Amino acid sequence: MSAARDAEVLEVDGHEVRVSHPDKVVFPEPGLTKLGLVRYYLAVAEGALRGAGGRPMVLKRFVKGIDKEAFFQKRVPENHPGFIDTATLEYASGTSAEEAVIRDAAGLAWIVNLGCIDLNPHPVRAEDLDHPDELRVDLDPMPGVDWSQIVDVAMIARDVLTDHGLVGWPKTSGSRGMHLLVRIEPRWSYPEVRLAAESLAREVERRAPGLATARWWKEERGESVFVDFNQNAKDRTVASAYSIRPLPDARVSTPLDWSEVRGCRPEELTVASVLRRFAEQGDPHAGVDDAAGSLEGLLRLAEELGPAEKAPRASGKGGAKGGDGDGRRQSSMPLIEVARTETKPEALEALDRWKSKHADIVSLLSPADVLVDGMRGSSSLWYRVRVNLQHVPEADRPPQAELEADYDPWAGRG
């Protein structure tokens, strides 16, 4: 190992990896530096590579810090080192991108040095880009939903998977939700995998009405757990195992054994605690690659359930991160739009201004009535704030007014 004032060079798996500005504090609350993040990923490399290794990856770069929006970079930097592989993905939009593929711990260190805090791989291997080998179940709680309800839905989802010959491997999302990872044989196309995931979601909703929902439209979900099947669409990625999330406490998306799920507290799974946990227990998902199953059962279920509600068409401008619409369908709910902003803090400030103007009805709103959605822009997120007035008497509902903030993410982009 050699050191310099503005960099530190690490010897990792026979490769030299330069870490620039190693003492830069990335997470002020726990005092985690950039070098500290690199060392974390090296310590959990076996588990992190089990989730992200050998897969093309979108680079989610926090170049301005965790309190600023990340920049999404699909194309691998031209000056990438020789130990970084690449794979060229074709997107539904007709574009393509040569994306990074990491194979070893040196690749992890290199990715983190670019400003990537979490890892966002596609559900395919670089050797077969057309056939996913992983189905992803994203349990996304609406506001007002507590951890026990998420766990209840996870257990039902596990039962549905088991009933159809599949094994679900749970992990915390690193935020409020939970992911179930399902290894599958790489025999089915993206549309077939998404259909299987949608059928799973609909069956979970059927078995747990009120607790879980497969409804696409966010305003119709109520205080339930959305089983987000669209994370299996071709252009989607999710934070993989052992990813650090950009929250002040440096929370980690942590693999669990099913026996741990009920008593788990996601806020306790941070970089510091996961380092101890990994050293003491190893990776609960060590056997995930030996559990690849068939989608035939879920695809038969799709036939039994019949056609589902159609998802919104991707417009390229305004598709939502959280599975929300793009404005092409008239909602059945009494929605008003409050703001469009560049950042989430700005969105919350705009919401507070709106609430102060309508203090007489705020107490009538349930947590799930306030919709703050991260929307996919060209290379980063922007935010839309809406309010569902379903619990406000019709005579007292405020009309659609001028937006509290009206950010245009497409201005100047042609």
Q: Residues 241-279: pLDDT tens digits?
A: 999 999 999 999 999 999 999 999 999 999 999 999 999
Q: Which tokens go with 234?
A: 């071709």
Residue whose C-alpha is closest to residue 370's, from 218, 256, 227, 242: 218
Q: Cα–Cα distance between 91 and 46 in angstroms, integer?
A: 30
Stretch (H or E) spanning 199: helix 190-207
Q: Which ranges in 210-343 belong to alpha helices (H)?
A: 258-261, 271-281, 296-305
Confidence of residue 98 (pLDDT cuts 50, 70, 90): very high
Give the residue-averaged pLDDT of 103-127.
96
Record the pTM. Answer: 0.82
Confidence of residue 11 (pLDDT cuts 50, 70, 90): very high
Residue whose C-alpha is closest to residue 174's, from 102, 117, 116, 222: 117
Query: What pLDDT does 50 receive?
Result: 97
- Cα 45 to its chain centre, rounded Å, is 20
Q: Which residue has the higher pLDDT, 319 or 94?
A: 94
Confidence of residue 368 (pLDDT cuts 50, 70, 90): confident
Alpha-carbon Rg for the chain, nearest whole angstrom, is 22
Handedness of CA 273, 278, 281, 285 (dihedral sign): positive
Residue whose C-alpha is closest to residue 255's, from 314, 174, 200: 174
Is the confidence at residue 47, as pLDDT, over 60?
yes
Confidence of residue 156 (pLDDT cuts 50, 70, 90): very high
Q: The tokens 């903030």 sit on which residue?
A: 405
Give the residue-averaged pLDDT of 91-97.
84
Strands 178-183 and 370-376: unpaired
Query: What pLDDT does 311 receive?
Result: 60
Q: Cα–Cα distance between 403 and 365 in angstroms, integer?
A: 19
Query: What pLDDT does 413 receive?
Result: 60
Q: Which tokens go with 397?
A: 């509902």
Quickly list DSSP for 161-191.
HHHTT---EEEE-SSSSEEEEEEB-TTS-HH
Phi-psi domain of 155 (left: phi exceeds 0; alpha: psi -120 through 50; beta: other):
alpha
Within 10 A of 127 (CB to CB), how many other CB atoms are there? Answer: 11
* Secondary structure of residue 89 in the 3-state scheme: strand
Q: Which residue has the higher pLDDT, 311 or 90?
A: 90
Stretch (H or E) spanning 350: helix 344-357
Confidence of residue 392 (pLDDT cuts 50, 70, 90): confident
Confidence of residue 24 (pLDDT cuts 50, 70, 90): very high
Q: Which residue has the higher pLDDT, 28 or 222?
A: 28
Is the confidence at residue 315, as pLDDT, over 60?
no
Query: What pLDDT does 316 receive?
Result: 43
Which of 16-20, 252-256, 261-265, 311-315 is predicted least confidently?
Answer: 311-315
| Residue 336, CA distances (Å) to 1, 20, 331, 404 in order | 58, 46, 11, 12
Is the confidence at residue 113, as pLDDT, over 90?
yes
pLDDT tens for each residue of 337-360: 889 988 888 888 988 999 988 999
Within 10 A of 159 (CB to CB), how many other CB atoms are there? Answer: 14
Is the confidence at residue 325, as pLDDT, over 80?
no
Query: What pLDDT does 64 receive?
Result: 85
Confidence of residue 68 (pLDDT cuts 50, 70, 90): confident
Confidence of residue 91 (pLDDT cuts 50, 70, 90): confident
Instruction: Judge whether 112 and 39 are in contact, CB under 8 Å.
Output: no
Q: Cα–Cα distance between 151 and 176 in angstroms, integer?
A: 11
Query: What pLDDT does 95 receive?
Result: 87
Q: The tokens 């990438």 sit on which residue?
A: 80
∠ CA 48-9-59 to the nearest 5 degrees? Answer: 40
Confidence of residue 312 (pLDDT cuts 50, 70, 90): low
